[in-house]
Amino acid sequence: MKYIRIFLIAVLLTGACILANAQETTRQDTVHVDKDEVVHSPRKATLYSAVLPGLGQVYNKKYWKLPLIYGGFAGFAYAINWNNDKYVLYRQAYYDITDTDPKTNSFLDIKEVMYYNMNNASDVREFGDKLKQAKDGARRYRDMNIIFTAAFYALNIIDASVDAHFFNFDISDDLTMVWVPETMYCLDQKIVGVNCRITF
């Protein structure tokens, strides 16, 4: 009986050892394939930003730039609208003061008219010149804001493209520069110099 117990314990331990060795994490006939690194496309970021401003920045995961872009466009839109309203007001007032119809008097809505005597011909002429200058200035500022909006749109596209180009760029602190004295050979002569090695 004693020998049977020893025999059973030996068989169980041997079976447990065999089962323990049979557990494999990977099968022998499989190959482990690494995932390819996803390529970040500058072309796609540029196209996205051209179609919808700010979408290229979202593609580049630069979400903090989105409020700046839309805030800039909102500011330019407000400036264009404000200057256009002033231009339309001053243009109509200028047309009304220069025509001969006494019923057209939209120039009286402009608050600067109180400084002029509208019964005096020289004051009317001077006020007409001021209205022309104000009309031209408002048109110039409106057109400049349209040009600035187009430049801001182009800057948005350029920013998305540059960010996409530098998306995978390593900016870690593992940059070293080592200065090493070195003996160099030039035409059978020894020259002492300094070697600079930069590693990224």
> Would you say residue 32 lies in a domain?
no
**In the prediction, which pLDDT does 31 show?**
65
Kindly tell me if the per-residue pLDDT of 100 is higher than 80. Answer: no
Q: How many domains does the chain have?
A: 1
Give the relative orientation of helices 121-165 and 66-98 as an angle to the nearest 10 degrees: 160
**pLDDT band with cut points at 50, 70 and 90 for residue 68:** very high
* Cα(164)–Cα(38) distance, integer angstroms: 13
> Would you say residue 186 lies in a domain?
no
> Would you say residue 66 lies in a domain?
yes
Kindly tell me if the per-residue pLDDT of 47 is higher than 70. Answer: yes
> Would you say residue 86 lies in a domain?
yes
> How do residues 33-45 score in pLDDT, each as one tens digit?
666 667 789 999 9
What the block records as the tokens of 156 is 């948005």
Contact by Cβ (8 Å): 177, 198: yes
> How do residues 102-154 score in pLDDT, each as one tens digit?
777 777 777 676 666 766 777 778 878 888 999 999 999 999 999 999 999 99
Residue 35: how many CB atoms within 10 A of its CB? 5
> Would you say residue 23 lies in a domain?
no
**pLDDT band with cut points at 50, 70 and 90 for residue 29:** low
> How do residues 147-161 score in pLDDT, each as one tens digit?
999 999 999 999 999
Q: Give ∠ CA 196-198-200 in degrees, rounded to 5.
A: 175
Kindly tell me if the per-residue pLDDT of 15 is higher than 60. Answer: no
pTM of the model: 0.64
Phi, psi of 73 (to 5 degrees): -65, -40
Positive or negative torsion for Cα 13, 19, 24, 29: positive
> 53 in helix, strand or coil?
coil
Phi, psi of 192 (to 5 degrees): -90, 130
Single out the residue of 144, 137, 156, 1 nearest to residue 73, CA to CA.
156
> Would you say residue 119 lies in a domain?
yes
Q: Where are the beta strands (DSSP E) in the chain?
A: 176-186, 189-199
Residue 137 structural domain: 42-168
**pLDDT band with cut points at 50, 70 and 90 for residue 24:** low
> Would you say residue 61 lies in a domain?
yes
Average pLDDT, the chain: 82
